[in-house]
Structure 1
Amino acid sequence: MMETVSVIIPVYNGEKYLRQCVESVLKQTYSQLEIIIINDGSKDKTALICEQLRHQDERIRVFHKPANEGLGAGRNTSLDLATGDYIIFVDSDDWIDPNHIEDLYQLLKRTDSDIAIANFTQYFEENGSYNIHLTEADYYEAVYSPQDWFAFQYGHGHNLSLCFTVPWCKMYKRSIFDTIRYYTDGFGEDDRTTWKTYLMADKIAYMHRSSYVYRVNATSMTQTADQGTVFQVGPIAERLEVLSLLGFDLSKEIAAYKWRAQINRDSKLKDGDMKAYRDLEFRMRLIEKYKR
């Protein structure tokens, strides 16, 4: 009997892209799927499209929220509803290659890993272009311990740092989320959550292949927010606290904290937020003083 993969798709005002996203999931070569669409209080035609899709395929389940609660809350609702053996996230304005789920499943199974990860291609909505950065000749597979994967995320090209952060382009054993839920108090739900899943894993498998298409458009939060909002220091500070308790090498995390603190310090100073500026300046000076 095939194991079930729960595909989680939160959506808010997604009438323009949702059908393309869901249809890419329906075309997967791996067919034992539970597709959970969370309509997060949309005000456009999203609810109608959700119901049309639900009647199109019995594998689709739809949950309509009465009000918009945010992406993290939508994922949490889906995790509570999911019954599959494995979890995959797909953002509602993205789409996946027909082999995406099967490739991740086969990678996870043959390496006996808890999380399987693929790479992704960027699609730029404004001019209809793709950022293709991987070829067949680039392909490799690797299996990492959590310690190795935390170290590997830094200093490599091919979107690997972003692959570390985002929840999509991955397959997780559902048990990974027994004690993990997504951050819901503002921007940064991925940055504050995905790293926790790696710590709950014993082995993390990576394939250097792109099978997920990430749509970049002018209205996305990462495009419109300032750098201080996108690269907050809070997630790194939380990681430093946890990783220090576990005895991980902190050198690369401290370097990441310094880089983010510099961005945030300048942003706070520009906005005239002197309290936040002095707090960050205090930490930066301590790091320099003790040569970390």
Structure 2
Amino acid sequence: MKYSVIVPVYNAERYLKRCIDSVINQTFFDWELILVNDGSSDSSPMICDEYTKNYPGKIYTIHQNNCGVLCARRVGIAYAQGEYLCFLDSDDYWDANLLNEIDIFQVEYDSDIIVFGFRKVGFAQSKNKEELPTDQLFLYQGKDMQFIYERIVAGKMSSLWAQVVRRAIIDFSTDYTNYYHIFIGEDLLQNLAFVDKASSVLLVPNAFYNYFYNEEGLTRRKLTPLYLDSHVFVQEQLFSYAKKWIIPLDPIYQSFRNVFYKCFKSFYQDALFSPIYTKQEQRQIIVYLSSGICKTYLAHVNIVWDHKRCSLCLFLLKRGNFRMLQMVLFFFRILNMIKNAY
């Protein structure tokens, strides 16, 4: 088997057939498709089973209780038999020539990882806009791999679905069960290990993948300690690999501090203008942002006083004055309600 295609499936009934059909319609035929149903409550399990019945020996379905996309991908990886592994999200789809084009590159360059571009579809303002990893074909190996290390640390090569990975470099021995709570940056978490073991990476200036931008699926996400903890955990892994690859850490710290500032700003605005948090939830977020695991980064976040109310709240957070911060947020909220009333 040359290529194993791994698709995590969770409540994807609206788009799943399109996704699966895009693999079936490939002009290259040496592949297997592994569908990992991650506890879906819609008709997705039946759709998976139907395709498995109709394509025996080509399409396989694994049913499991819901444990997240990271868990689903690792289950699919463990089951895969292909020499190369491909990753496809259940609401996205491939061009019909993806595997054929990838195989041509693989035969000529024999690269451990092949990275290709994608186009956004389903969103009017950016429909069919291509995002490419490079403007010219280039094989990175030996000393040139430093460019790839710097690229992934900079967050420019984090999506598993935009690449094909040789099975031989997959970290099968790594136990990811303690990471299953991670739901932000889970692709980057795995890709760091893949790139670390890779001897060569090929960047291809072509888009073969269609990333479906589903506006209906976009909802305002509450900031939670789990959300923040995902950021923290993945960032710590990033620091570890950056040190190993001898990459300057200052830009990474700055990037991480920016993430924390954006998180706090989002929390401030939601707590003030769209009160979606209970008092207990507010305190949980405030305590977590001020905890030891975050303090190192939070201490270096610059307070910009162009937005005085938000900056005051950030100042109180950095000082660890939780009670005062909650009182100020409540006071600002009352002022905002009075202002809107008139």
Judge conservation of contact 2:11–2:40 (CA < 8 Å) in 1.
yes
For the structure 1 residues 274 and 226, does the alpha-carbon distance in structure 2 shift closer, same or farther, using more than 3 Å as the test?
closer
Q: Which residue of 1 aligns with 2:39?
A: 41
Q: How many residues align?
A: 275
Cα deviations by residue, 1:246-278 (Å, 9 ceiling, x for unpaired)? 433334323322322322354566644333333
Larger radius of gyration: 2
Q: Which residue of 2 aligns with 1:254?
A: 253
Judge conservation of contact 1:233–1:260 (CA < 8 Å) in 2.
no
Q: Distance in 2 between matches of 1:196 and 1:90?
A: 19
Judge conservation of contact 2:5–2:34 (CA < 8 Å) in 1.
yes
Unaligned runs of 5+ in 2: 272-281, 303-342
Q: Which residue of 1 aligns with 2:287?
A: 275
Any idea what SS the aligned residue of 1:205 has? Answer: strand
Judge conservation of contact 1:40–1:68 (CA < 8 Å) in 2.
yes
Cα offset for 1:173?
Answer: 0.4
With the length of structure 2 as denominator, give the TM-score of the two structures.
0.70
Q: Which residue of 2 aligns with 1:243?
A: 242
Q: Distance in 2 between matches of 1:213 and 1:132?
A: 10
Report the more deviating stretch, 15-24 or 139-148. 139-148
Q: Which residue of 2 aligns with 1:285?
A: 299
With the length of structure 1 as denominator, give the TM-score of the two structures.
0.81
Unaligned runs of 5+ in 1: 156-160
For the structure 1 residues 220 and 167, does the alpha-carbon distance in structure 2 shift closer, same or farther, using more than 3 Å as the test?
farther
Any idea what SS the aligned residue of 2:67 has? Answer: coil
Residue 141, structure 1, aligned to residue 137, structure 2 = yes
Residue type of the alignment partner of 1:238:
Q
Q: Distance in 2 between matches of 1:278 and 1:52?
A: 50
Cα offset for 1:37?
Answer: 0.9
Report the more deviating stretch, 223-232 or 68-77. 223-232
Q: Distance in 2 between matches of 1:104 and 1:227?
A: 39
1:201 to 184, 198, 203: 198
Judge conservation of contact 1:8–1:37 (CA < 8 Å) in 2.
yes
Residue type of the alignment partner of 2:159:
V
Aligned-residue RMSD, C-alpha: 3.0
Q: Distance in 1 between matches of 2:125 and 2:90?
A: 18
Cα offset for 1:287?
Answer: 8.6
Report the more deviating stretch, 42-51 or 205-214. 42-51
Q: Which residue of 1 aligns with 2:274?
A: none
Q: Which residue of 2 aligns with 1:158?
A: none
Alignment of 1:1-292 (within 5 A): 3-58=1-56, 59-65=58-64, 67-124=65-122, 130-133=127-130, 139-144=135-140, 145-152=144-151, 161=155, 164-177=157-170, 178-180=172-174, 183-188=179-184, 189-218=186-215, 220=217, 224-225=220-221, 229=227, 232-267=231-266, 271-272=282-283, 273-279=285-291, 280-285=294-299
Percent identity between matched residues is 23
For the structure 1 residues 208 and 43, does the alpha-carbon distance in structure 2 shift closer, same or farther, using more than 3 Å as the test?
same
